[in-house]
């Protein structure tokens, strides 16, 4: 059994986003997936793994903060479940973010691109908890450079809580430096209070969250495949 561990949210848009991720995982692989929530929603992760001992649990987390290193291992203790790594630092997260950024730019105009980018992560006070956002910003910068263009696009990480700089500070700093089209690339999984905060920022454009991007489904399946030694991704790779 594949169990996807998610934070949980009261936002109906977040529920729909995670549902699309699960549907994508199942459609491209045939692997049945369940969702276990750490907060707010049911079923809880504890309830799901109690019903499915020996499951492979994939944390749908973009950073290695408290949830990944403390909360989830505590829930899984004694269940016989296999806990995989989260998604922190994976290049396909940056590729998904790049895709979402291009979509956001096209909404502003077919031939216009950002001249600076803030990669907005949730933020963590735990040592190493922001490494995923930092890595994603560096990887996105490399992807934008590969895209072409004679002028490099600065890409900086920023955070919505527990760390700095904040997203408004990063946007304001780039604007003060003379950049007029500062985009915010949301290094976030699903809509909720963080994405609402971004949409209220002074950014030129803001990208959509990442959980229902096909690359995230492939990453989740990759974690599952590695843990189980299966070939669940063979059909998925052909389909994508």
Q: Give the Cα-Cα-Cα angle 165, 153, 214 (nearest 5 degrees).
A: 85
pTM: 0.91
C-alpha to C-alpha distance for 173 and 16, rounded to whole angstroms? 35
Q: How many helices (H) and strands (E) does the chain have?
A: 10, 8
Q: What is the mean pLDDT of each run of 10 residues along the chain (240 residues)?
A: 92 94 95 93 95 95 85 93 94 98 93 95 90 97 82 94 94 97 97 91 95 97 88 43
């Amino acid at each position: 059994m594949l169990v996807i561990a998610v934070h949980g949210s009261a936002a109906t848009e977040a529920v729909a986003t995670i549902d699309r991720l699960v549907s994508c995982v199942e459609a491209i692989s045939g692997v049945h997936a369940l969702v276990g929530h750490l907060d707010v929603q049911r079923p809880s992760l504890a309830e799901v793994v109690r019903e499915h001992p020996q499951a492979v649990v994939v944390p749908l987390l973009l950073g290695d903060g408290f949830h990944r290193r403390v909360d989830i291992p505590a829930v899984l203790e004694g269940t016989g479940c296999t806990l995989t790594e989260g998604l922190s630092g994976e290049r396909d997260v940056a590729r998904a973010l790049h895709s979402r950024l291009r979509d956001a730019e096209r909404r502003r105009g077919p031939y216009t691109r950002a001249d600076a980018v803030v990669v907005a992560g949730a933020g963590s006070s735990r040592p190493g908890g922001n490494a995923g956002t930092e890595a994603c910003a560096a990887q996105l910068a490399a992807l934008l450079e590969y895209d072409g263009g004679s002028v490099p696009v600065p890409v900086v990480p920023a955070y919505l809580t527990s760390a700095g700089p904040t997203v408004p500070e990063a946007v304001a700093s780039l604007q003060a430096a003379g950049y007029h089209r500062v985009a915010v690339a949301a290094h976030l999984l699903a809509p909720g209070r963080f994405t609402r905060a971004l949409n209220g920022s002074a950014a030129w454009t803001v990208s959509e969250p990442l959980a229902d991007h096909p690359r995230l489904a492939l990453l989740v399946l990759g974690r599952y495949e590695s843990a189980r030694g299966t070939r669940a991704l063979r059909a998925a790779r052909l389909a994508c």
